[in-house]
Amino acid sequence: QVQLVESGGGLVQPGGSLRLSCAASETDFKINYMGWYRRAPGKQRELVAGISSGTTTNYADSVKGRFTISRDNAKNTVYLQMNSLKREDTAVYYCSVNAGLTTWWGQGTQVTVSS
């Protein structure tokens, strides 16, 4: 089993920045794809950004140029640097990790963009 611990959410003004972190517990399985998803009120969960076990990344069109995903394989940790935040980025953000044949999810962290 893989446990994910997220941190870094909070309240920020429009135009501000936040950095989310997600640390995975030690596992015998190789951690492959790591990603961040979000669910805004009244909307379905969507992929925000993902990163392969190498350096390949992918982003939702709505966050390209503003968000950056990265990972530290030695720490089993994935990060999401969020800049130029907009009100529409308000959501619960979830970390997701593929390890072995299973997808694991974090508990979610709230990001609220408001003045």
Mean pLDDT of the 16-21 span = 98
Residue 107 burial (CB count, 10 A):
11
pLDDT at site 52? 93
Tens of pLDDT, residue by residue over 48-69, are: 999 998 889 999 999 999 999 9
Tens of pLDDT, residue by residue over 60-96, are: 999 999 999 999 999 999 999 999 999 999 999 999 9
pLDDT at site 86? 98
**Closest among 109, 86, 85 to 36, alpha carbons compared:** 109
pLDDT at site 26? 79
